[in-house]
Amino acid sequence: MTTEKLLHDIGARINARRKELSLTQEQLAEKMEVSIQMISNLELGKKAIRPENLVKICEILNVSADYILRGNRADWEILGFIKKYSALSPDNQRLIEELTEKLLTSR
């Protein structure tokens, strides 16, 4: 994998997670105590993330560094999904199972 592709993927994950949390780039920049331009550059894959900023962004976005860097969900994130799934009605659980099966077979 090229450096450009890696930076693009990292930026895409930061962008997606920020939006999941309904944060603007400005809000994320304020929480990290960095410029909006830095957040923009990270999300566009134009700049690599420094270790100290990786730690901050993981805490703010409530994700693991492994997720930001490689896209792997941590066990605690998976357990959070399982907890949500368990709270669904049996009919909705079946819908999730059917959707998962369709996604797995459409590869």
Q: Which residue is associated with the tokens 């920049």? A: 29
Whole-prediction pTM = 0.70
CATH architecture of 3-70: Orthogonal Bundle (1.10)
Note the pLDDT of residue 91.
96
HEC profile of the chain: CCHHHHHHHHHHHHHHHHHHCCCCHHHHHHHHCCCHHHHHHHHCCCCCCCHHHHHHHHHHHCCCHHHHHHCCCCHHHHHHHHHHHHHCCHHHHHHHHHHHHHHHHCC
Note the pLDDT of residue 62.
87
Note the pLDDT of residue 75.
65
Domain ranges in the chain are 3-70, 75-105
Residue pLDDT tens, the chain, 107 long = 799 999 999 999 999 999 999 999 999 999 999 999 999 999 999 999 999 999 999 999 988 898 999 988 776 677 778 888 999 999 999 999 999 999 999 87
